Amino acid sequence: MSNLRLSDLWFLDLGNHQGTAQWKMNLAERLVRVILCAGFIAVLIVEVSLLIQALRIYD
């Protein structure tokens, strides 16, 4: 079993940025992922609400 240190986990490395390009890249990548996930969730909610409305029409 290998020893896993907290400093080896890239997503826990928020306090050790030192203004490097790598940290900025990770921050930009995380921001894009958050925006895409939020958009996916919003589309999913709209689709479910439209499905519910369509099912109410046929009742």
What is the band of 58 on the pLDDT scale with cuts at 50, 70, 90? confident
**Quick check: is 29 in a domain?**
yes
The per-residue pLDDT for range 3-48, each reduced to its tens digit, is 555 555 555 555 555 556 677 778 989 999 999 999 999 999 999 9
Instruction: Tell me how many domains the chain contains.
Output: 1
**Quick check: is 15 in a domain?**
no
**Quick check: is 35 in a domain?**
yes
Cα dihedral 48, 32, 16, 8, rounded to 10, equals 70
**Quick check: is 58 in a domain?**
yes
- CA–CA–CA angle 50, 33, 45 (5° rounding): 10
**Quick check: is 25 in a domain?**
yes
Burial degree of 42 (CB within 10 A; 0-12, 13-18, 19+): exposed
**Quick check: is 28 in a domain?**
yes
Q: Which domain holds residue 34?
A: 21-59
**Quick check: is 5 in a domain?**
no
**Quick check: is 11 in a domain?**
no
